[in-house]
Amino acid sequence: MKHLLTILLATLTLQAVAQNTEQAQRRPRFHFDTEHPDVHDPVMAKGEDGRFYIFSTGMGISCMSSSDLKTWQPEKSVLNPIPQWATDSIRGYRGHTWAPDISYHDGKWLMYYSCSTFGKNGSAIGLATNKTLNPQSADFHWEDQGAVIVSHQHQDNYNCIDPNLIVDGKGTPWLTFGSFWDGIQIVKLKKDFKTVASKPKTISRRIGRKITLAEIDNIEHYTIDGGDTIEAGENAVEAPFIIKNGKYYYLFVSFDFCCRGERSTYRTVVGRSKKVNGPYMDRKGIAMEKGGGETLIGPNESFFGVGHNSAYQVDGQWYFLSHAYEKAYNGQAKVFLRKMYFDHDGWPLLE
């Protein structure tokens, strides 16, 4: 009897192992496409080792690197462990970190990042620093510096996500950020690159008027897959990025909707100003805080949408980096990297 029971248990165990193995084989595995990697909200920097590093939305901030801007390899995440202050203070945040920003100032790399949950503005922008981007260096270590600015549900009519740092001609740092609610904001920072030194100012809206907190609180909320309630309003603008070229500052933002695969409608628009805090005007002379924006790229024959961009000069050549929902990949978000030029009137255009 004992022998029969042993055989029965062994048989059941083998069946369970076989079933689990079959389920594991059926379960899709993540495959990193070295030439067309998946990405959301990418930013880029050239490290001390000569490699290019892309940082993007992901668990603890995703990272990949390349020696030639063509073939990429995955790297370790930035935030490990996930900052305790963020999980304690941002309801629903569990480490999936959005829309980082990377730049080098005063001998260290500054990475601003977003802690939030979809459709809510109970959000925070944090800061992590590193002496080097080279993971092989003995000095390589990301050190979290805590929160820079926080927005609160039903208290603030802006959303503290999608940060971007710009330092003006006088050496003053400015942080721009925002998504939906009352649009894109900009604040002055102190020279420590962390302490906010001014109130938020709106520099871009999709709707050409101020969006009040009462108006947002009174809109008809709706739900998405999973039952999350969206409270963001209808001001579909986000993902600011500011560069300086010649006498102008250029503000890039994304209109319409990301993150919907084949139903994504992202498009990138731009305006310019001689002052870092605006007003930013489009080619027609319409202020971006009043709904203006010159379309640079959007849905076309190859992409359902293109947005959340950044822009950089590499060896004198401007590059435009974003994610694009590619039709050839059934709406998956892929790295979109193109050379960028400026026309005779000083407006950017893509290769």
Mean pLDDT of all residues in the chain? 88
Read off the pLDDT of each residue in 182-201 and give the average, rounded to a whole number.
97
What per-residue confidence (pLDDT) applies to 141?
Answer: 98
* Residue among 118, 113, 134 nearest 41 (CA): 113
Residues 6+ apart with CB under 8 A from 13: none
Of the listed ranges 39-43, 67-71, 215-219, 250-254, the least confidently predicted one is 215-219
Statement: residue 148 has pLDDT above 80: yes
Residue 148 lies inside a defined structural domain of this protein:
yes
Residue 103 lies inside a defined structural domain of this protein:
yes
Read off the pLDDT of each residue in 102-127 and give the average, rounded to a whole number.
95
How far apart are alpha carbons 257 and 192 in whole angstroms? 34
Q: Three-state SS for 273?
A: strand
Statement: residue 221 has pLDDT above 70: no
Of the listed ranges 57-71, 204-218, 295-309, the least confidently predicted one is 204-218
Q: Three-state SS for 274?
A: coil
Q: What confidence tens digit (pLDDT) does each residue in 91-101 have?
A: 999 999 999 99
Statement: residue 3 has pLDDT above 70: no
| Residue 211 near residue 182 (C-beta atoms within 8 A) | yes
How far apart are alpha carbons 91 and 32 in whole angstroms? 31
- Please state, for a pLDDT cut of 90, what percent of the chain lies above it: 77
Q: Is 294 a catalytic residue?
A: no
Q: Is 238 a catalytic residue?
A: yes
Report the domain count for the chain: 1
| Residue 78 near residue 128 (C-beta atoms within 8 A) | yes
Read off the pLDDT of each residue in 18-46 and give the average, rounded to a whole number.
70
How far apart are alpha carbons 293 and 280 in whole angstroms? 9
Alpha-helix runs per DSSP H in 81-166:
84-89
Statement: residue 244 has pLDDT above 90: yes
Q: Which of 38, 156, 182, 238 is catalytic?
A: 238
| Per-residue exposure over 3-38, b if at least 16 CB sit within 10 Å of its own CB, e if not | eeeeeeeeeeeeeeeeeeeeeeeeeeeeeeeeeebb
Residue 17 lies inside a defined structural domain of this protein:
no
Domain holding 290, by residue range, is: 42-350
Residue type, 257: F
How far apart are alpha carbons 26 and 292 in whole angstroms? 49
Q: Which tokens hold the place of 71?
A: 């073939």
Burial, 225: exposed, middle or buried (Cβ in 10 Å; 0-12, 13-18, 19+)? exposed
In this structure, the strands spanning 184-188 and 73-75 are unpaired
How far apart are alpha carbons 254 and 241 in whole angstroms? 10
Residue 19 lies inside a defined structural domain of this protein:
no
Q: Which tokens hold the place of 254?
A: 């994304």
Q: Is 125 left (phi over 0), alpha (psi -120 to 50) or beta?
A: beta
Burial, 168: exposed, middle or buried (Cβ in 10 Å; 0-12, 13-18, 19+)? middle
Residue 7 lies inside a defined structural domain of this protein:
no
**Residue 312: CATH number of its domain:** 2.115.10.20
Residue 185 lies inside a defined structural domain of this protein:
yes
* Residue among 64, 249, 264, 231 nearest 172 (CA): 249
Statement: residue 224 has pLDDT above 50: no
